[in-house]
Structure formats: structure tokens, C-alpha cells
Amino acid sequence: MAGKRGQHHLMKIFGGNLWQAQLVQGLLEANNIPCILRNETMSAVTSPYATLGGEVWVLIDARDREMAEGILKKECVSSAPYN
């Protein structure tokens, strides 16, 4: 499936608490890199308490990895090793 046209592979570019992830999300989106937030334990859509006690990931399209890493490096943003 990975080779089919129109499909995108999401990858984790950052992991941290909610406010850190939101800052990274804003930074990437300000540089025209679409991204989404995801909690590692449950979906924020189903529970207002989803982000309590769990890491929040910033996910991007794998094709944007190089550009996103450059932006985060320039802004001195780091997290756990990328997946």
C-alpha cells in the first residue's frame, strides 16, 4: 500500500507535553508544513482529559521531514529520537 499514489506516510517529528507540542505545531504550520497532534494513549477527540499524563506527538508527512528537522534545529527544538 505504501507505494500507491496519493497516500501519505505520517511520522513523528516531536514528542512532549501538550503545550510544547502545540508550540511545535504552530512553528511548523507557520512554515507551511501541515501537521497533526496525537496523544500516545488516547484520542483527544473522545476525552477532554486525553493529554493528562501522556506524551503528545507532532506528526508530519514523511516527505516534509528534512524541511521540518531544519526548522526545529534552527529554533533549537529537540525531543526524544525521531521514529
Q: Pick the more confident residue, 49 or 78.
A: 78
Q: Please report the pLDDT score of residue 77 as a whole number.
A: 79
Mean pLDDT of 27-34: 97
Q: Pick the more confident residue, 48 or 11.
A: 11
- Give the residue among 24, 34, 9 at the shortest CA–CA distance from 73: 24
Q: Please report the pLDDT score of residue 75 as a whole number.
A: 86
pTM of the model: 0.73
Amino acid at position 38, single letter:
R
Would you call 42 exposed, middle or buried from its count of C-beta atoms within 10 A (0-12, 13-18, 19+)?
A: middle
Instruction: Report residue 83's pLDDT band, with 50, 70 and 90 as the boundaries.
Output: very low
Whether the CB-CB separation of 77 and 26 falls below 8 Å is answered with: no
